[in-house]
Structure 1
Amino acid sequence: MSSTTTPATPTRTWLPLAVVLITQMMIVLDSAIVNIALPDMQQALHIAPADLSWVVNAYTLAFGGLLLLGARAGDLFGRRTVFAVGMTLFTVASLLGGFADAGSHLFLARAAQGVGAALVAPSALAILMGLYPQPRDRTRAIGYYTIVSASGAAIGLIAGGLLTSYASWRWVMFVNVPIGLVVLGLSRAALPASRSQHGRIDVVGSLLSTAGMTALVYGFISAAAHGWGSGSAVGSFVASAVLLAAFVVVERRVAQPVVPLHLFADRERVVAYTSRLLLVAGSMGAFFFLSQYFQLVLGWSPVRTGMAFVPFPVSVFISSQLATRVLVPRFGGRAVMLVGMTMSLVGLVLLTGVGVGTTYAQLVVSMVVFALGNGTAFVPLTEAGMVRVAPHEAGVASGLVNVTQQLGGAVGLAVLVTVFATAGPGAASGPGASAAAKELFVLGADRGFGVAAGLIAVAVALLVSLSARRRTPRSEATTSGAPTQAEAVLEPAA
């Protein structure tokens, strides 16, 4: 069993909280910050158009494929140790990526960043959960974590636009280096140490989970680039199904599995994972289509496009703080999840009316409603993903939270790009594009927003069914009938 040194009061945990939040910010925004810099990267490194997507995909594949292994490594070898190894790799890879003089070098650096992120992310969330033993304090910490997780993509777009326009594309890589060094310098003193558990890595299960997750993520990437019927997409999905099925068989038999399958026996946790995946998938529509709309239809610069997303993190901050301090303690996590997800759904439905002549003032209302919903929902969703988890399995559970977020991004991009393509050829517009081309673009975008809303509607239906079902409290972490600390947050105050 692992043992973590936990400070007695929240006032003694502000520094480790800051370290965890800064780390999460680096990881989340790193998948978005390069998007605005892609044209400059392509020109500077002479990357072929067909290969440009690998600047993003190399990171996504490595991160998504290794998350489960990284989570288990933190549980077995000590979360602070694994955190330090991952952060070192992430920082060095960022430095090498900034100095890349060829596309292949940049791709390798991005993949190494993904490996580092897969080691860091699960340990960071598990450490955060251990820092706050009291439900109210833990919920507030999760609120800050939510701000970072839910608004990281928007902040990445803002930062990417500023750095690309006023410095260089290389600074979207270099910016991680000083931050990573500061985090490494503080982590040993700030983060609580956890003793490594007796046990070893399940080698066969680790290989199967890594290969299966990588194939699954690659399948969605291929579907986005080449269509759902392409050989690479179909082959990847088939390979993933076979590998993950074999993984489940192995995990049922080994004494120390990479992912204890009983974590999926809790209905509330599974609904939280699924809802998080669908919410992130739907959110991809807002960022993917709006960032293109601002630049391709309205002809805005990268800086102006990035700044257009400022209301998103601001709204997430406001709503997540309201959720942690007022809504969750008063009404319970399940009700707040449902309200937040419904607001996100309404925001996306409003965006389906975007047209060539739509103004930013009209768009920002929809963006704010959507962001307020995300900030409200993500707080209890994160908490529910860790509910009733034994301390020695916190790393695995946090890894599953991160896996659903990564898969959500890949699923959303693949589905929405395919839907967008139904508008027909010529839908890609530019500042000098014809009115007909712009009309095709907004037609595809409106369809994409509609499907994104449909994904979140499924999550709303799942949460309604969860709220309607009278669940008998049960704990995996304790043998008593009393609610665990995490479970208490999900119930309304008496």
Structure 2
Amino acid sequence: MVALTQLVVVLDGTIVNIALPEAQADLGLTDVERQWVVTAYALAFGALLLLGGRIADYWGRKRSFIVGMIGFGIASAYGGLIGTGVELIVARGLQGVFAALMAPAALAILTTTFPSGRERNTAFAVFGSVAGAGAAVGLVLGGVLTEFFSWRWCLLVNVPVVLIAMVAAIYLLRESKAEGDNKYDFLGTVLVALGLGSLVYGFTLAEHGWDSLSAWAFLGAGAVLLALFFYSQARVAQPLLPLRVIANRVRGGSLLLQMVSGSVMIGMMLYLTFHLQIVLGFSPLLAGLASLPMTIVISIVAPIATMLLPRIGPKVLMVVGPLISAAGMVWLSGLSSTGNYWTEILPGLVLLGVGMAMLFVPMQNLALLGVEPHDAGAASAANTAAMQIGGSIGLGIYTALYTAGSATGTGLDAFVSGYSAVFIGTAVALLIGSIIAATFIRGSKEELMPMSNTPEKALHLG
């Protein structure tokens, strides 16, 4: 159920992408409004995640999860039934608001339900695999719904999923929350919401060119606000994000890897979709299906990686996995305007799926290693925020690479040159991810995978 929730949150960032051309024609959206359909979700989600995590800790994780699901379902239904572009943008923003409450609550529930041992490894392996495959599933589902039904069903499809998950949550989940005198950090909330929101919006503006003064202004403001946020967190009694959550070396490294994986998955899927539709002439449905092998490979390799985890430990998987994925991205960078899917794209997707499955299985687990129950929601929110911010940063950088690469060719060759530059960029990001894993993931196999996953056993790893 928690994995299903994560799937909804992740795929909702991509499912609308394939439907945007039809939605734009139906509602008469301008190009700016079309971009805001994507940005509104990312902006609200990224800006409010840490607040959502603390609400889950203090108010109750089950209660927050259910309220988040209900709000997300209502926002989805509203978005699928609206009649104007402005209403669609508002609906997407509301989806982001409630996803920011629902996502950290779901991950916190997973953390407190499976505190240690083999069950925890399995639970996080499933959760991580679903998170990694969500972008591709979103493209497939978006293609099916758009081609055979309507773009509106890319939003309405969330309603039955939400109803099922909500009923299951009511009967299956137990309530948990942080004990003691819990007070909200309102200054921290404002600083981090404005800071993360400025960063996400700044990188969104940068996708249209790094010469944008507005983009740099928002990025600069975001950096200053986040610096003030971290400064404030060290000086309040009950911070929004306790610095002990991210100061641990292993957890900090895992959060950095989360940013890398978010940038790669979101950036790669977007530009691969462009290549399949613009250069190879695939329909939305066929383009979605063409990305499915990566998801299939992840689902096959993840259980194997889960079985290997207790034997070889997480570090080997987290170092080698990104290298295999980088090889897949290098393969994809060799595409051409006259090539074909089976030789130029499929092998790269297989390699990418193998490597990402090896990374996803331990990464989510280590990002929450040794977190105190009192901080489960805050740590879960930081984990999700890392992927969201990584995706926003990645899109800005990859768009700049695409622009530079496409300037070297003409016609379809210009598109291909741009996509190739993007895939080389993702390969470099994965190499950096492997270095991060080798540097930050320190400790013996027993320390990184304690049978009793208590804060005391994990603290000395920092």
The answer to whether TM tops 0.5 is: yes
Query: Could you tell me which residue of structure 1 aligns to residue 424 of structure 2?
Result: 450
Residues 82 and 120, structure 1, Cα contact 8 Å, conserved in 2: yes
Task: Verify: 1:138 aligned to 2:120, yes or no.
Answer: yes
Whole-angstrom CA distance in 2 between matches of 1:254 and 1:185: 38
SS at match of 2:15: coil
CA contact (8 A) 1:340 1:376 kept: yes
- 130, 155, 175: which one aligns with 1:148: 130
Q: Which amino acid aligns with 2:430?
A: I
Distance 1:68 1:479 in 2: 21
Q: Is 2:176 aligned against 1:202?
A: no
Aligned equivalents of 1:268, 1:247: Cα separation in 2: 22
SS in 2 for 1:52: helix
Shift of 1:469: 7.8
Please list every run of 5 or more consecutive structure 2 residues that lacks an aligned counterpart in the other structure. none
Tell me whether 1:215 sits opposite 2:189 in the alignment: no
2:391 pairs, out of 402, 405, 409, with: 409
Over 3 Å counting, the alpha-carbon distance change for 1:50 and 1:381 in structure 2 is: same
Counterpart residue number, 1:112: 94
Which residue of the partner structure matches residue 6 of structure 1? none
1:70-149 equivalences in 2 (<5 Å): 70-149=52-131
Query: Structure 1 residue 283 and structure 2 residue 265: aligned?
Result: yes
CA apart distance, 1:251 = 1.2
Distance in 2 (alpha carbons) for counterparts of 1:423 and 1:291: 17
Q: Deviations over 1:391-424 (max 9, x none)?
A: 1111111111101110111111111111101134
The yes-or-no answer on 1:464 pairing with 2:438 is yes
- Deviations along 1:277-313, one digit per CA (max 9) or x if unpaired, are 1122122342122111111001111111111112111
- Label 1:195 to 1:473 Cα distance change in 2 as closer, same or farther (>3 A): closer
Deviation at 1:470, TM superposition (A): 8.2
Give the whole-Å Cα distance in 1 for the aligned partners of 2:80 and 2:442. Answer: 52
Counterparts of 1:146 and 1:470, CA distance in 2: 22
Contact 1:123-1:395 within 8 A present in 2 as well: yes
- Report the TM-score, using the length of structure 1 for normalisation: 0.89
Cα deviation for residue 241 of structure 1 reads 1.6
Are 1:60 and 2:31 matched, yes or no? no
* Letter of the 1:335 counterpart: V
2:343 matches 1:351:
no
Take 2:106 and 2:139, find their aligned partners in 1: how far apart are those partners?
A: 23
**TM-score (norm: length of structure 2):** 0.94
1:345-384 superposed matches below 5 A: 345-362=326-343, 363-384=345-366
1:361-403 deviation digits (Å, cap 9, x = unpaired): 1110110110111111011111110011111111111111101
The 8 Å contact of residues 426 and 437 in structure 1, kept in 2 or not, is answered as no
**Of the candidates 311, 315, 318, which is equivalent to residue 337 of structure 1?**
318
> 5+ residue gaps in structure 1?
1-18, 428-435, 488-494
CA contact (8 A) 1:147 1:320 kept: yes
Pick from 254, 257, 282 the counterpart of residue 300 of structure 1.
282
Q: Mean alpha-carbon deviation: is it higher for 242-251 or for 87-96?
A: 242-251
Matched, 1:51 2:25: no
Is contact 2:135-2:265 (8 Å) kept?
A: no
Does structure 2 conserve the Cα–Cα contact (< 8 Å) formed by 1:224 and 1:414?
Answer: yes
Match of 1:310 among 288, 292, 301: 292
- Deviation, structure 1 residue 347: 0.8
Residue 301 of structure 2 aligns to a residue in which SS?
A: helix
Q: What is the rounded CA distance, in whole Å, between the counterparts of 1:72 and 1:380 in structure 2?
A: 24
Q: For residues 262-281 of structure 1, what are the structure 2 equivalents within 5 Å?
A: 262-281=244-263
How many Å apart are 1:264 and its aligned residue? 2.3
Q: Distance in 2 between matches of 1:113 and 1:231?
A: 29
Distance across 2 between alignment mates of 1:46 and 1:160: 20
Structure 2 residue identity aligned to 1:26: V
Compute the displacement of 1:478 (Å).
Answer: 5.3
Question: Is the Cα contact below 8 Å between 2:257 and 2:433 reproduced in 1?
Answer: yes
User: Can you list the C-alpha shifts for 1:208-252, whole angstroms capped at 9, x where unaligned?
Assistant: 111111001111101012x22312111101111221122122211
The answer for the alignment partner of 1:433 in structure 2 is: none
Q: How many residues align?
A: 456
Task: Give 2:234's aligned residue.
Answer: 252
The letter for the 2-side match of 1:216 is L
Query: Is contact 1:345-1:456 (8 Å) kept?
Result: yes
1:16-27 correspondence runs (5 A): 19-27=1-9
- State the AA in 1 paired with 2:439: S
Q: Per-residue CA shift, 1:333-366, capped at 9, x if unaligned?
A: 1111112111111111111111112211111011
- Aligned counterpart, 1:232: 214
SS in 1 for 2:18: coil
The 1:345–1:171 alpha-carbon spacing in structure 2 relative to 1, beyond 3 Å, is: same
Aligned: 1:386 with 2:360:
no
Asked whether the equivalents of residues 335 and 467 of structure 1 are also in contact (C-alpha less than 8 Å), the reply is no
Identity, % of aligned pairs? 36
Partner residue, 2:162: 180
Contact 2:250-2:441 at 8 Å conserved across structures: no
| Stretch deviating more after TM superposition (241-250 or 152-161) | 241-250
Amino acid at match of 1:47: L
Structure-1 separation of matches of 2:426 and 2:347 = 18
SS at match of 1:35: helix
